[in-house]
Amino acid sequence: MIVLTTPRFDRAIKKISPHEKKAIDQVIREIIGNPQKGEMKKGDLAGTRVYKFKFNNQQMLLAYSVSLDTTKMVLMGYGVHENFYRDLKR
């Protein structure tokens, strides 16, 4: 599977610690193994999946979309719940 990123995702990843990067790499590997793992969104974010996980007792969200033939995955956003969906719509 080809994994692509958006500029928004790249900016979010630049700001995190190496320990957190290892955790998100593990989550991305899990999603590659099972692309249906995240919750499918509706409305403005139709076609986007969001996977929720805990890091340091805080809920983190990873937004992604997978192509219909499951050959490409686009990582769209990462962060805490506060303003996550609002920023993702932009």
| pLDDT(38) > 90 | yes
Mean pLDDT for 60-78 is 95
- Residue 90's pLDDT is 83
Number of other CB atoms surrounding residue 35 within 10 Å: 15
Beta strands in the chain (DSSP E): 2-5, 39-40, 49-55, 58-66, 72-80
> Whole-angstrom Cα distance, residue 6 to residue 68?
19
CB 64 within 8 A of CB 73: yes
- When pLDDT is cut at 50, 70 and 90, the band that residue 55 belongs to is very high
CB 28 within 8 A of CB 63: no
- When pLDDT is cut at 50, 70 and 90, the band that residue 40 belongs to is very high
Amino acid symbol at 64: Y
